[in-house]
Amino acid sequence: MDTIFRHRSIRKYRTTPVKVSIVEHLIRAGSRASTTGNMQVYSIIVTKDKTMKEKLWELHFKQDMVRQAPLVFTFCADFSRFSTWCNYRKANPGYDNYLSFFTGAIDALLASQNLALAAEENGLGICYLGTTTYNADKIIELLKLPKLVVPVATIVAGYPDEEPDLTDRLPLDAIVHKETYKEYTEADIYKIYHQREESDETKKLLEINNKETLAQIFTDNRYTKKDNILFSKKFLKVLKDQGFMENE
Amino acid sequence: MDTIFRHRSIRKYRTTPVKVSIVEHLIRAGSRASTTGNMQVYSIIVTKDKTMKEKLWELHFKQDMVRQAPLVFTFCADFSRFSTWCNYRKANPGYDNYLSFFTGAIDALLASQNLALAAEENGLGICYLGTTTYNADKIIELLKLPKLVVPVATIVAGYPDEEPDLTDRLPLDAIVHKETYKEYTEADIYKIYHQREESDETKKLLEINNKETLAQIFTDNRYTKKDNILFSKKFLKVLKDQGFMENE
């Protein structure tokens, strides 16, 4: 399980293709993750085709790795297959609601992490694309996802063409709470964040971006309120359009 | 990575406690999962206390394993810590929206799967509780989760007191789509589901539940439309109450 502790996101890939047998192994690994009531309400869309990757690259804000990496996996919450099964079996499916979407999203995300680890175990590099939910509407169009199918995460995979350092993480204390949630005092916040805030990397970032604090780089540049509101509205519309909000 | 392929959900546990150093190792494994922009917008609440477990057991529909297992991990989308940091650093956090909730949920779920695998690698058994979103409101109250923190998944863990068989899965073809989504014909559905539908286990289930098809057991008994609608409304209210729907 060293694989877990060696994980780093890879953003540069060699063009070496990945054997079909390995791809199948990765998907099988994904399929072994826990799934709600063994319903397996998720799907994985595999993109290898150059033209399709080019189009996905556009939708993922032109992050180069989408074009470079030989494999792109789009993980979807999927109650379409299950509902189709119900319809053919004299059963009346009731999965056109938010809870069902979220159940499918959990299934999809657990499978994605299994697949990611299996990829790394097999010498591949991976990177999650946080942009999946931003342009979900256009991804749905491109991948021809029917109602009750919504993309929630994307992983690119291939043989790495870089060896980045392990990413820093907050101290464990920061993310763990014993029995009940402990709110963070100003002193706690200092303790948790100061190492990152005082790093050379941060100092460089502050200078380039002309900001006073690292937090401002997140709120003003990387994850702004304006974008968050825009993409929230878009994603909630996607959930509605895909039929997951019938009872709201 | 055999661990991935050996996974089965464990529902009976020995009372043997789990060493603190192992618990810490598991959480560290969780923390190595990919996280959006390295924001780490999730928290893990660890429950060991007998009284707290008793209360969680009630909220998880009295599934015995919640009382039995020495460890209960509740994974939460958490933009509270990050926003607190912003507030102390002259930055204006804009994370009171649905996208931010979903981003936190992804972080939490990827971490949970890492933790689950690390637990299994260390000889522990685990089981995901699908009931976390159903009673999220009461879990929030019990674990004293502040605004911008929402539980999305729970794992119980401990030394197994049973050795269940590997759970069946649909054929890989069922969950994979090449380039674009292929809708399922009646013949596809038969191919995908018939093995499960014709198993001895299913035959027994149909008899006990007096149903004609396996799908009906899901729609009429296990995951009914009525429950789904009820829990959808409850969970969406939780998102609102926890401050993740300020712009809807």
Complex confidence, ipTM: 0.98
Please answer yes or no on whether A248 and B236 come within 8 Å at the CB atom: yes
pLDDT tier at A134, thresholds 50, 70, 90: very high
Candidates A81, A95, A216, partner chain B, best to mutate (most B CBs within 10 A): A81
pLDDT tier at B83, thresholds 50, 70, 90: very high
The answer to whether A108 contacts chain B (CB < 8 Å) is no
The answer to whether B221 contacts chain A (CB < 8 Å) is no
Residue pairs between chains A and B whose CB atoms are closer than 8 Å = 349
Model confidence, pTM = 0.98
Percent of chain B with pLDDT over 70: 100
pLDDT tier at A124, thresholds 50, 70, 90: very high
What is the rounded distance in angstroms from the CA atom of residue B180 to the CA atom of residue B166? 31
Alpha helix ranges (H) inside A60-156: 64-68, 80-88, 98-121, 136-142
* pLDDT at res. B47: 98
Question: Contacts of residue B150 in chain A, CB cutoff 8 Å?
Answer: none
What is the rounded distance in angstroms from the CA atom of residue B196 to the CA atom of residue B216? 14
3-class DSSP state of B97? coil
The answer to whether A221 contacts chain B (CB < 8 Å) is no
Locate the chain B residue with the closest alpha carbon to A8.
B34
Instruction: Please say whether the beta carbons of A127 and A64 come within 8 A.
Output: no
Candidates B113, B168, B189, B230, partner chain A, best to mutate (most A CBs within 10 A): B113
Give the tokens for residue A151: 């993309």
Please answer yes or no on whether A94 and B224 come within 8 Å at the CB atom: yes
Question: Contacts of residue A114 in chain B, CB cutoff 8 Å?
Answer: 4, 113, 117
Please answer yes or no on whether A102 and B133 come within 8 Å at the CB atom: yes
Whether the predicted pLDDT of B195 surpasses 70: yes
Candidates A3, A11, A176, A214, partner chain B, best to mutate (most B CBs within 10 A): A176
3-class DSSP state of B80? helix
Of B144, B212, B218, the CB nearest to A180: B144
* pLDDT at res. B71: 98
pLDDT tier at A1, thresholds 50, 70, 90: low
Question: Contacts of residue A165 in chain B, CB cutoff 8 Å?
Answer: none
Write out pLDDT tens, residues A195-210: 999 999 999 999 999 9
What average pLDDT does the segment A41-61 reach?
A: 98
Distance from CA of B46 to the nearest CA of A (A): 5
What is the rounded distance in angstroms from the CA atom of residue B52 to the CA atom of residue B80? 23
Please answer yes or no on whether B39 and A189 come within 8 Å at the CB atom: no
Instruction: Please say whether the beta carbons of A115 and A26 come within 8 A.
Output: yes
Write out pLDDT tens, residues A2-20: 899 999 999 999 999 999 9
| CA separation, residue A142 to residues A58, A72, A133, A229, B175 (Å) | 11, 14, 14, 24, 18
Write out pLDDT tens, residues A88-100: 999 999 999 999 9
Structure-token match 């546990």, residue found? B13
Burial of residue B165, with CB atoms counted within 10 A of its CB: 0-12 exposed, 13-18 middle, 19 or more buried: exposed
Please answer yes or no on whether A216 and B189 come within 8 Å at the CB atom: no
* Distance, CA of B135 to chain centre: 13
What is the rounded distance in angstroms from the CA atom of residue A80 to the CA atom of residue A93? 10
3-class DSSP state of B16? coil
What is the rounded distance in angstroms from the CA atom of residue A33 to the CA atom of residue B113? 8
Distance from CA of B136 to the nearest CA of A (A): 12
The answer to whether A185 contacts chain B (CB < 8 Å) is no
Please answer yes or no on whether B213 and A179 come within 8 Å at the CB atom: no
Candidates B71, B81, B96, B128, partner chain A, best to mutate (most A CBs within 10 A): B81
Beta carbons within 8 Å of A216's beta carbon, 6+ residues apart: B89, B90, B91
| CA separation, residue B224 to residues A76, B121, B129, B220 (Å) | 22, 35, 18, 5
Question: Contacts of residue B170 in chain A, CB cutoff 8 Å?
Answer: 31, 40
Question: Which of residues 27 through 66 in chain A touch B, CB cutoff 8 A?
Answer: 27-34, 36-40, 42-49, 52
Of B33, B94, B175, the CB nearest to A40: B175
Per DSSP bridges, beta strands A125-129 and A149-158 are: antiparallel
